[in-house]
Chain A
Amino acid sequence: MSEKTSWDWETELKEIPFNEWKTHFNWVQAPQVSQNGESIAAVVNLDEMVFSVCVNGQVWEEEYEKIWSLTSVSDSGFAAFVARDEEWTLSVNGQEWTHWCDFIWQMMKSLDGQFLGAAFQTDSEYGVIVNDTPWEDRYENLTGAVMAADGTSAAVVQVVPMPGADVEAFKKGVFSVACNGVPEDRRFLNIWDISFDTAGRQMGYGVRTDRESYGIVQNDTLWKNRFESVWKPEFLDENSLLAPVRINGKWQLYKNDAPFWQNKYDQLWHLTLSPDGKDVAAIVSAPYGRWRVAVNDTVWHVAWDTMISDIYFSQDGSSLAAVYKHKDVWDLAVNQTPWQMAADMVFVPCLSQDGSVVAVVIQKKGQYQLVVNKKTMASGFSFMADPVISADGSKVLLKGIENGIYKRRIIRV
């Protein structure tokens, strides 16, 4: 999305008759919208076991037995997993990768759209493929694949064979982390939640070292402390790894194997760092069953009874938005202020770079609405993709379907 300054922010409305596609194909699956809103795409059925992708009314040249995971990539493109003669690959804008496999899943994309990756399986051996280059080493099991911004990939892999129901073999540790296909030496009972630093050079992850001991691995080194449990670690910078850890039934934030936050919580997860690295936020439960946002170990004064699903910083770190559920309805709060939308669902909010504008799609009674800074800007849509705010914060890009017509609309804030 780094190029969004080059997008068309002037044309107030562009329309594509989406529902009309249903008259051209046997059926049309759920739509996907490109990041810049210029294109809408869907998997379409042409005949029995014959599928393709329709983008703005134009169908990809190639036809497939199956297509799934259609996703927007880069500013205006789409990628999908496609199958022909029972073999799978990834197709980007209709161009197939050269490598085909027995199955492919978990599409991963870098923010700048330069790298596309996925997990794959061929002849019951598992690996990761990035930009059409598969790992050389394959494994009998693979979970939790991740990809860094520079295309470095990693996953949890099984490096020692284990007969069925062999709990003794499991106790010895048969799993390791493979980075770009190369396994690390150390093995564990479990490995979860691999994190990269921003440069893609450092790795951190959670492990279980025996039946009841959990730890954190930071750049191939296991922290000395053991915990009752751990959640996903995040790099504060290349030398500092943060991780929520459980001690005596309470959760605390550790940094480099030492307490970082002093408070202990009944839950602490979803570590989120401001882009400038100055602030650390997390979703916490304090007291038990009450959900709050904590920023630098200080909790928001507002608390909710059901759930906070995710939190987002603005680029400058000045604003923090939380999607939450309270008393059976969903809402958004920005800098501790609830918007009181009483929605059936709140999607992923978009924050302007300076944090002054927040736009979000919500659902109420089956219809989609766009809300900007608490004000409903559009409603009555049958579908909306997440909005985008222009670089200068003056306009919001709405991408939605109204009365069967896809609309790309620019709304001035």
Chain B
Amino acid sequence: MKTKENPMTDTPSSVEKPTDPAIESGLERLTPDRIQQVIQDVLKKETGPRFKAYVETCMHCGLCAEACPYFLSNDRDPQFMPAAKVKNTIWEMLKKNGNVSKDFLRRAVRISHLECNVCKRCSMYCPFGIDIAYMMLLVRRICHKLEITPQYIQDTVNSHSVTLNQMWVKDDEWIDTLQWQEEDARDEFEDLEIPLDKMGADIMYSVIAPEPKFQAGLIYQAATMMHAAGINWTMPSTPGWDNSNMAMYTGDNEISGRIARAFFETAAKLRVKRIVMGECGHAFRSVYDMGNRWNSWVMPPFEVVHALAFYHELLTEGRITIKEKYKKKVTLHDPCNVSRGRGLHDKAREVVNMVCEDFVDMVPNREHNYCCGAGGGVINCGPPYKGERMVNNRVKAEQLAATGAEVLIAPCHNCHSGLEDIVHHYDLKMEIKFLGDLIYETMDKKIYTPGA
């Protein structure tokens, strides 16, 4: 696309591959027997007809390749084809009955954690709908049991296991932050309340830990919307408030289940009717698909409403009205977990059109959208991997640049952070906003009156 000084020309080989101390020290401790035993145990005890069907059905046609942003971003390098990622990880483990080397595992960790976002785009291009993300998560499960998970995401899971939130937010810090936001938001509405532990509220509002840690203003905005819309809502003061779940992405299914249990049982304890969650995609996957099912909840025991659907409800019911539409040209990124995973893309567009004057779609879009490159736990593997993450997201940068939009709406935390990096790295000169940012900015700050 441009000259050598331009990041568009970076290639995987031009980016330094870091050494991860957690992977290396984990590999050092492993013995061939241990490796084989863990792989055999996982394949024998934790897989079934689903895995067998996938392995036996794949025709190696390669149609999945065109689906993968990693493949497209790396000049169609065959090693980034989803089928190749499977071949170079789980198939080999299966073929060799778990008798694989440490060098093989070092590569398998990278493929499964850093070269696949488990975004499931490839499944749509597979003639048989093979869920390649499931197989990559199976590799991560093996890495978890072998204790060779990358350092930063493992620390995140350690935080989950201790605090039930992903950022080591202490109990008092959480409550203090809510009270601080409540106090600040009283500049807008003097009687605004962030009700803590209100029994029998209609809605429990839940967020992910980066909000109290770094983005407390998002809680402020949500509280303002709830108050203006006259919602009977609450937030829990106890662990279980964080709906995120990185354990789901490292294959630590036991901690993942513990997180999801705490989340739903917090709602049950507060006797709320439904749960509204902030703009996060993977958290939705955790409570709607994976974490709940580990606990034997086939479907979530409470209705879980993603922010996109909630905004749609508030605006279409007239609980929030837009004073003046947002003027700048905006585009919308569809997060995989709420678009491909839940089908919220059309509602999202309706909300954007209710709030913004000038909307341009990116191509491809909706469930065919390219991944942000950060989700699936990839960005959580930390700063050491940022360089290659940027290379692996070139196609996303090209897609964004083609829109000519001034503002990129990213209604998911991981997408938001990953796209920030892309916009900065590729010098795209776009502002990135949550949809809530725009609604807050454009809404009429008045209290909803039924029938008015």
Contacts and interface: CB of A to CB of B under 8 A. Distances in A.
A229 B193 contact: no
B144 interface: yes
B11 interface: no
Contacts of A307: 264, 268, 297, 301
A143 B162 contact: yes
A87 interface: no
Nearest to B172: A103
Contact of B254 (A102, A214, A363): A214
Interface residues of A, number: 57
Interface stretch (B93-101, B195-203, B205-213, B387-395): B195-203
B17 to A, nearest CB: 19
Given A105-B172, A165-B155, A289-B298, A229 B45 contact: no
A345 B271 contact: yes
Nearest to A103: B172
Contacts of B258: 192, 229
Contacts, number: 115
Given A190-B162, A347-B271, A167 B172 contact: no
Contacts of B237: 68-69, 105-106
Interface in A331-348: 344-345, 347
Nearest to A267: B296
A325 B268 CA distance: 10
A209 to B, nearest CB: 13
Interface stretch (A8-16, A23-31, A195-203): A23-31
A214 B29 CA distance: 21
Contacts of B299: 306
A212 interface: yes
Interface string A61-72: 000001011000
A226 B232 CA distance: 45
Contacts of B183: 49
A119 interface: yes
B172 A121 contact: yes
Interface string A300-320: 000001110110000000000
Contact of A167 (B158, B162, B271): B158
Nearest to B194: A68
Contacts of B239: 143
Contacts of A126: 170, 172
B123 interface: no
Nearest to B158: A170
Interface in A29-78: 29-30, 45, 48-49, 66, 68-69
A168 B22 CA distance: 8
Interface stretch (B52-60, B145-153, B425-433): B145-153
Nearest to A328: B303
Given A49-B183, A141-B162, A363-B200, 19 more contacts: A27-B191, A30-B195, A68-B196, A69-B196, A106-B171, A121-B170, A121-B172, A126-B170, A142-B171, A171-B147, A208-B161, A211-B145, A228-B254, A248-B45, A266-B296, A269-B261, A306-B297, A307-B301, A309-B265
27 contacts: A26-B190, A26-B191, A27-B191, A29-B193, A45-B191, A49-B183, A68-B175, A105-B237, A121-B170, A121-B172, A141-B162, A164-B155, A167-B158, A211-B144, A212-B144, A214-B254, A228-B254, A229-B258, A248-B45, A267-B296, A269-B261, A291-B296, A309-B265, A309-B268, A310-B268, A345-B271, A347-B200
